[in-house]
Amino acid sequence: MGWTVSDAGFDKNQMITNGNKYMTGNGYMGFRGTLEEFGKDQLAAVTLAGLYDQVQDQWREPVNAPNGLFTLLSCNGQRLSVLDTVPLDHKQELDIRSAVHRRVTVYSIPEGGELAYTAERFASMDQLHLLASRQSVRATADCRIMIETGIDSEVWDINGPHLHNRQELFKAGVLLSSAITGELKLPVVAGELSVFGFGRQQQNTAGALRRITFDAKAGETYEWFKYVSVYSGLDTADDPEALAIRAVLEAAEQGYAGLLQAHRRVWEERWSRSDCIIAGDEAAQFALRYSMYQLMIIAPTVSERVSIPARGLSGQVYKGAVFWDTEMFMLPFFLHSDPGVARNLMMYRIHTLDGARRKAAEYGYLGAFYAWESQDSGDDACTLFNVNDVFTGRPMRTYFRDKQVHISADVVHGIWQYLLFTGDDSLILDGGAEVIWECARFFYSYAYYNPLKERYEILDVTGPDEYHERVNNNAFTNALVKETLEIALRCAELLQSRYPDACRKLCAQFAGGPFLNEFQAMLERLYIPQPDPDTLIIEQFDRYFKLEEVGLPELKSRVINLNEYWGGGNGLATTTRILKQADVVLMLNLFKSAFTKEVKQANWEFYEPRTEHGSSLSPCIYALAAADIGSPDWGYPYFMRTATVDLTGKSKQYVGDLYIGGTHPAANGGAWMAAVLGFAGVQFDGETVRLNPSLPEHWRSIELPAALRGGHYRLRISRNEVTVTAAEGNCEALAFAGFGGAAELCGPGDQLHLQAAGTAAVPE
């Protein structure tokens, strides 16, 4: 399989799945994996990162730009499109090594013969505002061909329209489609330049299209190039039309080959910092690389004011909102491979702190209550009625917005992980400390002090298991609140010891200081659910064990409508022990050093058969936990399920009657976590890298790069041996430990071997 995903033949039933599967992007925009002749009805979309719009009282969502790669062919007066004509042959493929999409479609020609149409495209990783395409036709018989190409301004919107006052212009040989968003009145401009060496060009005055008509000779190849640029008012205070024109003219001057070469160089560098090489499992190798590819095409490499939405840049699904997925499931990949992107992700949370403050104040609390569904301002896009009852059609009240308070703790966890992995204190000085303290203040004001039990409790919350809303003392939430308080105190110590002036300035911003004494008092008496001394099981929340004990097959047999929601006030799972996704098991994975192997195994075995995996976030956690307890082959199927979710399209597409399709970047990140943090056993606490491999039976080894504390290392991990090599840029010693041994690495080229006693490395 190598580096290419491909499909032969065209199936209309797979159009939406393939739109996700064949995604390209560069962090500024995502281009769905649709074909050149597709339009809004086939969900063609150029989704822009960080640009949102709202129409009246509908859900606010990201803006799709006009599609400048639109192309439609006709031959001898007959339209050639997979939507209208059954092709003789069709192949769609994506090279994930260089993020290049390609299709080859062969049609029969009216009056005899065949015509092959080839189109290749990429979203430039070198010039983020640019799309480029190389297209060609070749016929086996003389024929007359018409090419309609240009900009399709009829964009796909779920809750639109978002683009108004559309103008289609022709300037300096460049087609332009410009419009203004409705809410913020920001311009959105697409520019297109096609370069032909044949035919007669005619501009279509009815829109932003060109028509080329020519007589094709049998056996000759006719090739042309398209250069497309996209700009919005978020990018510049200057004239975006002028920028779009200049960008495509300069692209044409550089030429397709030069643009592609520069694009590939950036991708080579990205892969050099991230590629994981698995020996012994080609299917897992490709699935893992594909997962990393999906993360890299949506990573904000330049802007610190955008993050990664729950469905990436695959369209407007999930409102283009940023969830807890980013910190818990995607951040680890970037911490190990691209700390610059990791910093941008955390700076996004700092920039949206005021939105979190507004939400806390709205509910009557102190500090910062982060949005469950965050967009550009940090205000919560999550509504009170997220799901419709499939039986009545009525909106169902849900408590995602109100009660998933762990989101603020997830943000703090992410910020502190960044500090531990990079040693970069600047994030704390640039607003990270303020976020940490404001989140801790929120939990201090949210907590309930139980005078009878003399302890603080976290009541009326929803944990990761969303099928059970408004529960008390959710184990995951309480553990994350505890960590938030600890980090708040450690942050104060760090500032006081290293940056006393900054510490005094920051403390002065809070009435009475950052509540450090209150944090300490709450921390000392915060209730954290503990393992039962007999069973070792941690109760997911108060009275969870009182719920109905029913097997998952039995509960599924009660389903009346395949799309009915299992949670909420009267969902199938609400009164049972069946949970949506990993909850306690996720907590055990985050704080694995605090629990014995016996506790982790007992909880894995208890909760696994009760987990429906109704979220794509769930399987990877069971893979991680299985590796941690020394049973990687238990976890391997969960890893593969996670890593292939966008390749197979086998995921939940509806909640109630709400479409929730699109790509799954959290699952992509989870696949990487399962492979590297789980099976390879790589763990870093800011001081020591601990390596505890737990490889699946057929994996001989895994090799990967890692960026830690400003240094770059290459790890080769087999069942019985670890080799670590220090690369360029290493300036301080870093400790590595595994198989009972430990050593430090510092200078470039330094190497160490850690080997299990009494064993030899497995030969390749």
Per-residue model confidence (pLDDT) at position 424:
96
pLDDT confidence tier of residue 659, bands split at 50, 70 and 90: low
Mean pLDDT of 353-379: 98
Please determine, for residue 185, whether its predicted confidence score (pLDDT) is greater than 80. Answer: yes
Per-residue model confidence (pLDDT) at position 731:
59
Mean pLDDT of 29-43: 97
pLDDT digits (tens, 9 = 90+) for 486-509: 999 999 999 999 999 888 888 777
CB atoms within 10 A of CB 288: 28
Identify the CA nearest to 252 among candidates 327, 175, 329.
Answer: 175
Report which of residues 454 and 512 the model is more confident about: 454
**Helix pair angle (632-643, 618-628), 10° resolution:** 150
Per-residue model confidence (pLDDT) at position 749:
78
Cα–Cα distance for residue pair 699/14, rounded to 1 Å = 32
Q: Quote the mean pLDDT of the chain.
A: 94
Please determine, for residue 528, whether its predicted confidence score (pLDDT) is greater than 90. Answer: yes
Mean pLDDT of 179-183: 97
What is residue 224's three-state secondary structure? strand
Q: Which residues pair with 192 in a beta bridge?
A: 175, 228
Q: Of residues 192, 466, 539, 612, which has the active-site annotation?
A: 466
Per-residue model confidence (pLDDT) at position 764:
39
pLDDT confidence tier of residue 120, bands split at 50, 70 and 90: very high
pLDDT digits (tens, 9 = 90+) for 245-276: 999 999 999 999 999 999 999 999 999 999 99
Mark residue 620 as left, alpha or beta (left: phi above 0; alpha: psi -120 to 50; beta: remaining). Answer: alpha
Query: Distances from the Cα of 69 to the Cαs of 102, 133, 305, in angstroms?
Result: 13, 7, 28
pLDDT confidence tier of residue 728, bands split at 50, 70 and 90: low
**DSSP state string for 285-322:** HHHHHHHHHHHHTT--SS-SS----TTTTSSSGGGG-B
pLDDT confidence tier of residue 727, bands split at 50, 70 and 90: confident
Structure tokens at 360: 């806390």
Q: Which amino acid belongs to residue 373? A: E
Cα–Cα distance for residue pair 25/87, rounded to 1 Å = 28
Please determine, for residue 514, whether its predicted confidence score (pLDDT) is greater than 90. Answer: no
Lowest mean pLDDT among 353-367, 475-489, 670-684, 728-742: 728-742
Please determine, for residue 510, whether its predicted confidence score (pLDDT) is greater than 70. Answer: no
Angle at CA 130, nearest 5°, toward 125 and 135? 100
Per-residue model confidence (pLDDT) at position 192:
97
Query: Distances from the Cα of 119 to the Cαs of 21, 124, 263, 376, 381, in angstroms?
Result: 17, 16, 17, 35, 38
Per-residue model confidence (pLDDT) at position 649:
82
Cα–Cα distance for residue pair 188/230, rounded to 1 Å = 7
Mean pLDDT of 564-575: 93
Look up 438 and say whether it is catalytic: no
Please determine, for residue 760, whether its predicted confidence score (pLDDT) is greater than 60. Answer: no
Cα–Cα distance for residue pair 214/120, rounded to 1 Å = 22
What pTM value is reported for the model?
A: 0.96
pLDDT digits (tens, 9 = 90+) for 316-333: 988 999 999 999 999 999
